[in-house]
Amino acid sequence: MSDSLNQLKALAAPAELRRAPVVENNQGLGWLTDKLSAFAEGKTPLWWWILFIPAAFAATVIFPTCLFYQVFTGVGVWGNNHPVMWGLDIVNFIWWVGVAHAGTLISALLFLTRQHWRTTIGRMAEAMTVFSVMMAGLYPAIHVGRAWFDWFMFPVPNSNGLWPQFRSPLMWDVFAVNTYLTVSTLFFFMGMIPDFAVLRDRSTTRVRKGIFTFLAMGWTGSARQWHHYEKAYLVLCGLCTLLVFTVSSIVGLDFCTAQIAGWHATIFPLYFVIGAVFCGFGMVLVILIPLRKWCGLEQIITMSHIDKVAKLALVSGLIIDYIYLMEFFIAWYSGDPYERWVFGHRLFGHTYMVLGWMLIGINVGVTQLLWFKKVRSNLALLFIIGVLINIGMWCERFVIVVGSLYQEFLPSNWGKYMPTIWDIGLYIGTLGAFFMLYLLFVKFLPMIAIAEVKGAMPQADPHHRLGGAQKEDGHE
């Protein structure tokens, strides 16, 4: 017995090559259940209120004020005007869709590739997806100017006998964003059903018990239920993975089907997908790093997980850098004077060149810091890099949208764009609404997928010593 153990030990990989455990200081399934449901059940801490009150103020005062003023008055309250008809509304739309994408990538694509570490951050990333798609979907709806005619975008039989024009990518966008919202919400909800059952069984008050009994829908955790559940989860993961690559591609198509210099490039669908994922990883870092500390989840969301998210941010950042290089190269290589003009002015023009250099400085420059392990293990620095990535990607969308529109083909047609206070107010309002919803989610719902994390533990493996495997079992 001891001989074979020694042999095994000799064969085991050296410490630096061994896979990090999903959860550190693992003390069993009961301990994990207590730990993961503690925040949703405990007393609301002070930091939560300090964050919640300003977020709720932005969401319930600034947001409706800017929204209603714009809807009642018209798009003219924004800075949008000829020739820049797409301003902050579309910039923010793309930015919010982008933030959503990393959540789906983490929860769906990493599930398909069997990355166990995703279980601990998947739920938080999914919540980010659901709430940011909500914010994204709002923008096109009000950007049309007459929000009460939004139903024209859907194929609803009407007395005018008109139908939407389905050859336009803008029309595809309507379908893509609505599908994204629906599917990510379904996925989010379905993933929580077993965890609602956990909170139901742990609840001590009648009200809590009633609410979670209703939400858990009769979940008992039987093998037959898990059997159907796992299949449905797999199918949803596959479909969500399709959406990661589809939704932003279609947003990219909105641009590249237009003839505008700087937009009319075949690289756009890929460009927008990778940009979205990169931006989203920035947001994941911004959300994870403070929450893991304040909610006492250091042993669950380990440094190894943060390190992996940072590495994924680096990979997507490098692809983005490659795309920038290609964009500039093709603009030069095409020999098209308009293309060359637009791309030259992104960096050496006036007015917007600051944003162009911020884009390069952050997305090309700051991203390279993530190569270093010292940086990836420094939480404060990672948080700042996360914020910077979000700013950098916002600048990129601004440069693409406004930078191509303000100097069109005819110099007599040139103009400037400056966002007004209503543009900025609405953006602050959506940020507030996003963080308000996120804080409510963190406080009241299981913010970590309890059942999934348990399933990734050695105690959950019937073929592992800790899972109760015995010698005579052998291997299945």
Contact between 396 and 323 under an 8 Å Cβ cutoff? The reply is no
Q: Does 228 bind other proteins (CB under 8 A)?
A: yes
Q: Does 236 bind other proteins (CB under 8 A)?
A: yes
Closest listed residue to residue 123, CA positions, set 56, 58, 198: 198
Q: Does 266 bind other proteins (CB under 8 A)?
A: no
In the bound complex, what is the minimum distance in angstroms from residue 205's beta carbon to other proteins? 15
Q: Which of residues 152-181 bind other proteins (CB under 8 A)?
A: 155, 161-167, 169, 171-172, 175-176, 178-179
In the bound complex, what is the minimum distance in angstroms from residue 305's beta carbon to other proteins? 19
Among 26, 81, 246, 420, binds other proteins (CB under 8 A): 246
- Smaller CB separation from other proteins, 171 or 384: 171
What distances in angstroms separate CA 80 from CA 125, 127, 431, one per listed residue? Answer: 33, 32, 21
For residue 106, what are the contacts with CB-CB under 8 A and spacing of at least 6? 118, 121, 122, 125, 126, 284, 309
- Smaller CB separation from other proteins, 190 or 325: 190
For residue 387, what are the contacts with CB-CB under 8 A and spacing of at least 6? 282, 286
The CB-side HSE value for 71 (13 A sphere, CA atoms) comes to 16
- Smaller CB separation from other proteins, 209 or 311: 209
Q: Which of residues 13-52 bind other proteins (CB under 8 A)?
A: 28-30, 33
The C-alpha atoms of residue 465 and residue 452 are separated, in whole angstroms, by 20
Q: Does 461 bind other proteins (CB under 8 A)?
A: yes
Task: Write the single-letter amino acid at 305.
Answer: H
The C-alpha atoms of residue 211 and residue 219 are separated, in whole angstroms, by 13
Q: Does 469 bind other proteins (CB under 8 A)?
A: yes
Q: How many residues does the chain have?
A: 476
In the bound complex, what is the minimum distance in angstroms from residue 207's beta carbon to other proteins? 15
Q: Which of residues 433-452 bind other proteins (CB under 8 A)?
A: 451-452
In the bound complex, what is the minimum distance in angstroms from residue 330's beta carbon to other proteins? 25
Segment near other proteins (CB under 8 A); pick from 195-203, 332-340, 358-366, 440-448: 195-203
Among 133, 198, 306, 358, binds other proteins (CB under 8 A): 198
The C-alpha atoms of residue 120 and residue 111 are separated, in whole angstroms, by 12
Q: Does 243 bind other proteins (CB under 8 A)?
A: yes
Among 4, 113, 205, 220, binds other proteins (CB under 8 A): 220
The alpha helices in 74-168, defined as continuous H runs, are 88-104, 110-112, 118-143
Place of tokens 């990219």: 252
